[in-house]
Structure 1
Amino acid sequence: MTDRASQLVERRLPTEESRQLVALVRDIAQREIAPGAAEEEEAGRFPREVFTLLSDSGLLGLPYDSAYGGGDQPYEVYLQVLEELAAARLTVGLGVSVHSLACHAVAGYGTKEQRAEHLPAMLGGGLLGAYCLSEPAAGSDAASLRTKAVRDGDDWVVTGTKAWITHGGIADFYTVLARTGAEGARGITAFLVPGDAEGLNAAAPEKKMGMKGSPTAQLNFDGVRVSDARRIGEEGQGFAIALSALDSGRLGIAACAIGVAQAALGEAVGYASGRQQFGRPIADFQGLRFMLADMATQIEAGRALYLEAARLRDEGKPFSRQAAMAKLFCTDTAMRVTVDAVQVLGGYGYTLDFPVERLMREAKVLQIVEGTNQIQRMVIARHLAGPESR
């Protein structure tokens, strides 16, 4: 988070340890991530060295058990760390969120032996993960996925194509959902696939309007053999595992969205305070003051919403509805705030010389990933009124 943006945030953290943790992350973000973010995004460069630094600093496994290399941090704290990282560079914040999502299946549903074998390297051993659910013809309707895993002795043979995979082609491991049984949600099983598995190939990264430094690619599974020891959970349990992971992942997206919005607000306030027109700073004009006030209010509301959902999760209470609300509201807020930030900067906001245009382009994807905002509305409505009668 930039200095200006961080000055506008009053963190409410539960312990002195968590306050020191977030201060450490903010320092890393300001020293190691933010300075080169614009140039590296424009060049489409993935900052693998930053993820190595985060792993070495114990920041890639914060919400997981310390017995396996995690940080034992509640989601309330972990999400505020994500917000700080995303405010500095969304490629990093979202990348940490995706990595955490990829670790969820083993941490939550793996056997004791699987957790002991895999989690230490995943959480603090410098590895980077990816999550493989979506396919070219199975996006919002993920239960219709076609990638198959067929049993062959002690192995499974995986064949198919996954799409829109963050870290596709560069990840060290993939959590893969594949069909092992009948059509529908109950025929899906989860697997942990090594990134260097024979027969696993990545297509060229997608050419995107934003987050150019974060590779998004299709993955082709051409008869990839996976040991049954890498099957996570029971056969047919994969879709339930996926939904469980996505509830938590949506909170990660919400926190990243607020980070992007906070960065945009910081840039807008800084510019409006220094830009002189008609003999005084443009921040003195009521039209702009009200715009900045609305931006700040939306950000605070979004932060409160995702933190309340995180506290429910930390208490072991249901939080699916609140996670969908947080993802919906926070990402819509990021889009509104970044558009308004461009407007505050006027013509300068439309140039590459200032970061708000990049933040606006990046905000858009957050309304799409890990369940579009239209899907979030369906989830919320289902909790309120039950499933559709048909």
Structure 2
Amino acid sequence: MYVAVKGGEKAIANAHALLAKRGAGETRIGYGQVRDQLGVLVSRVMAEGSLYDPDLAAKALLQAQGDVLEAVTLLRSYRTTLPRFGTTAAIDTAGLPAQRRISATFKDLPGGQQLGATFDYTHRLLADELETPDIPAAATTQDDAPMPRITDLLGVDALIEPERPDDWTDPDPADLTREPTVFPMSRAERLQALTRGDEGFLLSLGYSTQRGFGRTHPFAGEVRVGEVEVFFDAPELGFEVPIGRIEVTECQMVNQFVGGTDATGAERPPQFTRGYGLVFGRAERKAMSMSLVDRALRHEEFAERAVSPAQDEEFVISHADNVQATGFVEHLKLPHYVDFQGELVLIRQLHRDFQERTAAAQAEEAANV
């Protein structure tokens, strides 16, 4: 037994050495290059790792050799070692100075459409070599014109549900990183889980709602990307202090609702309803997918029947976390020798019983002939 254990340790050490050699490559790149040139990937790792730090996310990607889920796991593991000094105030995205701001609902909207940096209008042709283009000064000029939210404009005539109901309260949501998940969840807790959720999984669920697997008819009311200031609530000072700025992507999805009796028995007029998404960094696809799933999970509020996977809270939340999903899937690579031997003995016995029954049936059939 002792020899086997030592042999296993040596094999694992060799595996680590081979991994490090493969990751070294011919040309060593720095985490700064990953941070600056793979910004969208870094944003995804920060969002799903629940830690806003572009440098650490870039280092995790390098260590993981580009494996996003491994990088997310590294970042979450590191996050658990950090001390907690308190909480920050809710960020104010209403006045978010947008580097990019688009709407699919109105062509001419106050503040205008800001296309910003996007792949939306590229030709999707693979370039032989990437070059740094010359950018006109006007393209980087920030327009200070006010940019009211589309949902605020619709709210003037009560054409969209209120952002906060009359009886709305603001309890502190549970911290999913420190407390076990309990169903049913509040919307704030669901949004917290969706922000940490796997982008590909949420994209598929959001796509499913557009194909009819969910009672939604969405319009991208507004997508904004920009930097917002973060304030720390310092009890010893008695007021909030700014501690820095972070880049976020926000999506307000506008969905149809024909009206009727809601879950509380109140009569609601025909009006648009909301789906919401907010994530770290540049992550429009994630924010849009999140907002589609958020609206699908609100079916109980509008007394809608849950008939699709995207409307099943427990299904969505339990399977959105890619770290948990990776752990469950990849644990199958670990030794299961004892379990398999038990299954093997059972299958052999069942196989023998089957053969005996088959032989007996054939003998009886031959005797009858």
TM band (smaller chain): under 0.3
The structure that is helix-richer by fraction is 1
